[in-house]
Chains A and B, each alone.
Chain A
Amino acid sequence: MRAGVITFPGSNCDRDIAVALAAAGARVERLWHAETELPRLDLIVLPGGFTYGDYLRCGAIAARAPVMAEVIRRAAAGVPVLGICNGFQILAEAGLLPGALISNAGLKFICRPVELEVATTGSIFTAGYAPGQIVSLPIAHHDGCYVLAPDELERLADEDRIAFRYLANPNGSVGRVAGVLGPGRNVLGLMPHPERAADPRTGGTDGAIMLRSLVEALG
């Protein structure tokens, strides 16, 4: 499996996800935001960080980076795209995922492991989990409060596109939503960091389940 991790100016979890993917068995390519063409890839990852300092809305500038046109094309063609934390914010700003991420309800940055419920196993990202499984993944964000109009949230739930829900809502997200799937189910954005739970020594292994199942499914 060939995974591409895109580095934008201000990305800071790019190495972490590259390390975790490699440990899960992927061949990892590090890609630069200014590229307009991408090699053949089985998975595209938008890592966490503070692209452009989050000085505008989080992810707003990165969503317009040169590489994003190609990411949007690949996503439309069915290539799995994973956005973690700031990557989720970029995907929302790019229109690949519905909704938006605003400041946490407590207006503070929160870094801690949180418990999540796997809300669907019907995606390439979550197929490795048991339905309803409770997993622990770390969050580390200031702007992770997911917002969406009530009718759209209902539609998302109807279409089984809510991937993860927080057990105890740390940031005020609507419907306790921690991660959502795109309409084609090949795009996942989530605020928690699976790459930070991919090593028993540092954060557990619940995130490694996602990465390993991606590697297995994508060869």
Chain B
Amino acid sequence: MATVTPELIAEHGLSQAEYARVVEILGREPTLVELGIFSVMWSEHCSYKSSRHWLKQLPTDGPQVICGPGENAGVVDLGQGMAAVFKIESHNHPSYIEPYQGAATGVGGILRDVFTMGARPVALLNALRFGAPEHPKTRHLVDGVVAGIAGYGNCIGVPTVGGETGFHRAYNGNILVNAMCVGLAAKDQIFYARAAGPGNPVVYVGAKTGRDGIHGATMASAEFSAEAEARRPTVQVGDPFTEKLLLEACLELMEGDAIVAIQDMGAAGLTSSSFEMAARGGTGIEMDLDRVPTRETGMTPYEIMLSESQERMLLVLRRGAEAAAAAVFAKWGLDCVTVGRVTDSGAMVLRFAGEEVARVPIAPVSGASPVYRRPYVRGAPPPPVIAQDVNPPIGHRAALLQLLGSPDLASRRWIFEQYDYMVMGDTVQPPGGDAAVVRIHGSQRGLALTTDCTPRYCLADPASGGRQAVAEAWRNLCAVGARPLALTDCLNFGSPENPVVMGQFVGCLEGMAEACRALDFPVVSGNVSFYNETDGQAIPPTPTIGGLGLIEDLDRMATLAWRRRGLALVLIGESFGWLGSSLYLREVCGREEGAPPPVDLATERRHGELVRGLIAAGRIEACHDLADGGLLVALAEMVLASGIGADLELPPDCDAGWLFGEDQGRYLLAVAPDHLDALLETARRQGALARRVGTTGGRALTLDGGDAICLDELARVHGRWLPALMAAPGATP
């Protein structure tokens, strides 16, 4: 047996104090297998040791919540006997090292988290952050990540319907790939991962175990150095075909009563799936590792327990159901092997080649992992930028074109056309709107889905940025007419050991929690990804919010596009001309500074409810929320989606702040003239500022009947940036 040396402990990412705790728990020195188990279970990725204390402040309850954080995914009630199961997760480090496989297995992992709970996945979304477009690696990473997402999602046949993509040099050395999956299940048919019933068989199903991905969880829990590429062999390889078979086989078996508990083997593979199932069930598990199907010869128990080979599941079956399960998996051509049984010992006992290789009490590994209150410092928010002090370097017309063709606002068509966003036949709003809408199969109801975060706000003022990320997701759902139900979060930050980063985390969480409470928008699942930094350079705080809402009647849904001329354009919300940390300031003035726009949560809620009510009452013909680039960009996006122009009436004191300011809680609506007065009255009664700002019609976007940009030019500028970037020589090294 290998001697446990200080070097070995350090290689396993355990501190001296943590190791002392391991020895205390076991009452002896660990075996190598046990050291590996503690290493992954106590990794930041699996144990949330730096974040757990702060995550507790997030609201996770509500009448709509069936299952909050702690299971494989969150579950919310959709009424009519249905439930939505959803989660978002990061696959940042693997995607930077090996973009295709990293992104593909990120999609594969999040799909398993959802179907392991008995839900059929119905939609995928992805929130991506890349480095500067001109950085030598960016195009290679964009190309690989998009192809990887496409390769996996298209093959398994779950539509990729939305998400977001951003570019900033702060992500040059550490891109973000956050994958979200949403599934549908019968409310009374949810499967949980609680190993119960001593004597019940523990069954391994799916693909065979190889040496890929060993220590993936540990890799996700350490910062990068410039030699990151050397870690390429630790990236797993995805097989979406096998996952499709696994999906169908699991759902087929779930129709009967064979399954007691089920969990996918994701990060930390067989180790975390077995420990977590036993911990939740308050039981023990014994496994014979010789029985685990392996892809390679000579695999050691250490490798078998730590492999992150994909497309595998661990099941606890009802005793006697083994044959029925084996028949289903045989039909789909998959391995199904009883590898152990549930015990009442409270311990994990692993045997290999006739020897006991590990005996670890489960509760202390899963439940009593270290919790750190890391030191943090919180910076003062920067001063606001006064709109009147911003001297526009170019005219408004030119500024609009520059913004529409800028990396963060240019058309994402090049990306989303590589994704099958239509398979399953229920995509009612494809990518490109405020939120994607997927019909609940066989009904007139729909799920609205979005991912949102504005990292530059979070960097400037974490608490405000955290509030804004939640509010924007909520607003995007309202903008299509959905009632926001719950969210999943993917908290991407630098090293928690850096007090500045920890301060950003604390601030963002504080803002998020406040917004979640004010908007009745609880967190039901999520993931924390720390150590997103390379050579000491942390990414901007990026708490990605994945929001889910319900549309009760798809005939009462809004899109960006109006269908006729002569409609009144109505702006909901107050415009203070907030330019601090705005896209205008960054892209047009070359300044990255200033306090981000404040989020007044009571106003946000009032405006969202007003807009939702108007959509449900059939009073508006198009709707868009105001976000990056403010009013003029929102209007341009609506014009592009409509193929019909509009004229914007400018106030006498119109400045860049009015046109491009990013004040929150605002929507732009298109309303039939007949409904205008009633709508303005409704808004007044509900305490919302609403004013007419223009009219639809023509083949151009005009400002006060003068300065015009024809539709074709808008479309050309908006459409050309990303294809041009990706077509440049050397895009795929």
Q: Which residues of chain A from 1 to 21 have a CB within 8 Å of any chain B CB? A: 9-10, 12-13, 15-16, 19-20
Query: Looking at A9, A111, A196, A201, which has the most chain B CB atoms within 10 Å of its CB?
Result: A111
User: What residues of B have a CB within 8 angstroms of the CB of A13 in the complex?
Assistant: 157, 423
**A59, CB-defined interface residue at 8 Å:** no
User: What residues of B have a CB within 8 angstroms of the CB of A110 in the complex?
Assistant: 417-418
CA distance in complex: A10, B416 (Å): 22
A111 touches B421 (CB 8 A): yes
A196 touches B425 (CB 8 A): yes
Closest to A34 in B: B331
B425 touches A109 (CB 8 A): no
A53 touches B425 (CB 8 A): no
User: Residue A52 contacts which of B157, B241, B417, B418 (CB distance < 8 angstroms)?
Assistant: B241
**B376, CB-defined interface residue at 8 Å:** no
B429-469 interface code vs A (CB 8 A; 1 in, 0 out): 00000000001000000000000000000000000000000
CB distance from B459 to the nearest CB of A (A): 33
CB distance from A62 to the nearest CB of B (A): 12
User: Residue B154 contacts which of A52, A140, A199 (CB distance < 8 angstroms)?
Assistant: A140
CA distance in complex: A146, B457 (Å): 49
A203 touches B154 (CB 8 A): no
A103-119 interface code vs B (CB 8 A; 1 in, 0 out): 00000111110000000
B156 touches A20 (CB 8 A): no
Q: Which residues of chain A from 60 to 92 have a CB within 8 Å of any chain B CB? A: none
Closest to A113 in B: B422
User: What residues of B have a CB within 8 angstroms of the CB of A203 in the complex?
Assistant: 422, 425
A136-170 interface code vs B (CB 8 A; 1 in, 0 out): 00101010000000000000000000000000000
Q: Which residues of chain A from 39 to 70 have a CB within 8 Å of any chain B CB? A: 48-50, 52-55
A202 touches B422 (CB 8 A): yes
A20 touches B154 (CB 8 A): no
Closest to B427 in A: A202
Closest to A12 in B: B157
Take A111-B417, A111-B418, A140-B154 as given contacts and tell me if A202 and B426 are in contact as well, using a CB distance cutoff of 8 Å. Answer: yes
**B129, CB-defined interface residue at 8 Å:** no
Take A12-B157, A201-B439 as given contacts and tell me if A138 and B422 are in contact as well, using a CB distance cutoff of 8 Å. Answer: yes
CA distance in complex: A197, B378 (Å): 54
CA distance in complex: A58, B149 (Å): 19
Take A12-B244, A202-B428 as given contacts and tell me if A54 and B422 are in contact as well, using a CB distance cutoff of 8 Å. Answer: no
CB distance from A28 to the nearest CB of B (A): 14
A202 touches B157 (CB 8 A): no
B241 touches A111 (CB 8 A): no
User: Residue B418 contacts which of A55, A109, A193 (CB distance < 8 angstroms)?
Assistant: A109
User: What residues of A have a CB within 8 angstroms of the CB of B155 in the complex?
Assistant: 10, 12, 50, 53-54
B423 touches A12 (CB 8 A): yes
User: What residues of A have a CB within 8 angstroms of the CB of B416 in the complex?
Assistant: 111
Q: Which residues of chain B from 136 to 167 have a CB within 8 Å of any chain A CB? A: 147, 150, 154-157
**B245, CB-defined interface residue at 8 Å:** yes
Take A13-B157, A111-B420 as given contacts and tell me if A53 and B240 are in contact as well, using a CB distance cutoff of 8 Å. Answer: yes
CA distance in complex: A77, B418 (Å): 39
Closest to A140 in B: B420
Closest to B727 in A: A106
CA distance in complex: A91, B418 (Å): 25
CA distance in complex: A63, B416 (Å): 31
B157 touches A49 (CB 8 A): yes
CB distance from B725 to the nearest CB of A (A): 14
Range of interface residues on B (Cβ < 8 Å):
20 to 34
**A93, CB-defined interface residue at 8 Å:** no
CB distance from A90 to the nearest CB of B (A): 15
**B721, CB-defined interface residue at 8 Å:** no
**B679, CB-defined interface residue at 8 Å:** no
**B324, CB-defined interface residue at 8 Å:** no
A15 touches B154 (CB 8 A): no
Query: Looking at B154, B242, B416, which has the most chain A CB atoms within 10 Å of its CB?
Result: B154
A9 touches B245 (CB 8 A): yes
**A206, CB-defined interface residue at 8 Å:** no
A16 touches B150 (CB 8 A): no
User: What residues of A have a CB within 8 angstroms of the CB of B425 in the complex?
Assistant: 15-16, 19-20, 195-196, 199, 202-203
CA distance in complex: A17, B274 (Å): 39
User: Residue A12 contacts which of B156, B333, B421, B439 (CB distance < 8 angstroms)?
Assistant: B156
Q: Which residues of chain B from 245 to 296 have a CB within 8 Å of any chain A CB? A: 245
User: What residues of A have a CB within 8 angstroms of the CB of B424 in the complex?
Assistant: 15-16
**B202, CB-defined interface residue at 8 Å:** no
CA distance in complex: A31, B537 (Å): 56
Closest to B146 in A: A108
A175-199 interface code vs B (CB 8 A; 1 in, 0 out): 0000000000000000001011001
CA distance in complex: A138, B423 (Å): 10
**B239, CB-defined interface residue at 8 Å:** yes
A50 touches B150 (CB 8 A): no
CB distance from B681 to the nearest CB of A (A): 32
Closest to B333 in A: A9
CA distance in complex: A12, B241 (Å): 10
Closest to A199 in B: B425
CA distance in complex: A48, B420 (Å): 12
User: What residues of A have a CB within 8 angstroms of the CB of B333 in the complex?
Assistant: 9
CA distance in complex: A142, B426 (Å): 21
CB distance from A151 to the nearest CB of B (A): 34
Closest to A110 in B: B417
CB distance from B115 to the nearest CB of A (A): 14
B428 touches A50 (CB 8 A): no
User: What residues of B have a CB within 8 angstroms of the CB of A202 in the complex?
Assistant: 422, 425-428, 439
CB distance from B597 to the nearest CB of A (A): 35
CB distance from A145 to the nearest CB of B (A): 16
CA distance in complex: A15, B442 (Å): 12
CA distance in complex: A108, B154 (Å): 12
CA distance in complex: A10, B249 (Å): 12
**B224, CB-defined interface residue at 8 Å:** no
CB distance from A59 to the nearest CB of B (A): 14
User: What residues of B have a CB within 8 angstroms of the CB of A112 in the complex?
Assistant: 417
**B554, CB-defined interface residue at 8 Å:** yes
Query: Looking at A9, A15, A109, which has the most chain B CB atoms within 10 Å of its CB?
Result: A109
User: What residues of B have a CB within 8 angstroms of the CB of A10 in the complex?
Assistant: 155, 241, 244-245
B150 touches A9 (CB 8 A): no
User: What residues of A have a CB within 8 angstroms of the CB of B332 in the complex?
Assistant: 9
User: What residues of A have a CB within 8 angstroms of the CB of B423 in the complex?
Assistant: 12-13, 16, 48, 140
A108 touches B418 (CB 8 A): yes
CA distance in complex: A58, B147 (Å): 18
**B493, CB-defined interface residue at 8 Å:** no
User: What residues of A have a CB within 8 angstroms of the CB of B157 in the complex?
Assistant: 12-13, 49-50
**B660, CB-defined interface residue at 8 Å:** no
A111 touches B245 (CB 8 A): no
**B42, CB-defined interface residue at 8 Å:** no
User: What residues of B have a CB within 8 angstroms of the CB of A108 in the complex?
Assistant: 147, 417-418
CA distance in complex: A50, B154 (Å): 8
**B419, CB-defined interface residue at 8 Å:** yes
User: What residues of B have a CB within 8 angstroms of the CB of A193 in the complex?
Assistant: 422
B422 touches A140 (CB 8 A): yes
User: What residues of B have a CB within 8 angstroms of the CB of A195 in the complex?
Assistant: 425
A109 touches B154 (CB 8 A): yes
Query: Looking at B156, B157, B419, which has the most chain A CB atoms within 10 Å of its CB?
Result: B157
CA distance in complex: A202, B425 (Å): 7
CA distance in complex: A74, B556 (Å): 46
CB distance from B176 to the nearest CB of A (A): 23
CA distance in complex: A53, B422 (Å): 19
CB distance from A195 to the nearest CB of B (A): 7
A201 touches B418 (CB 8 A): no
Nearest 5 CB-CB pairings of A with B: A12-B157, A53-B241, A50-B155, A16-B425, A140-B420
Knowing that A50-B157, A111-B421, A201-B554 are A-B contacts, what are 18 other residue pairs whose CB atoms are under 8 Å apart, sorted by A's residue number?
A: A9-B241, A9-B245, A10-B241, A10-B245, A12-B156, A13-B423, A49-B157, A50-B154, A53-B242, A109-B150, A109-B419, A110-B418, A111-B416, A140-B422, A142-B154, A195-B425, A202-B422, A203-B425
- The 9 sampled A-B contact pairs (Cβ below 8 Å) are A9-B333, A10-B241, A15-B424, A15-B425, A53-B240, A111-B416, A202-B422, A202-B426, A203-B425
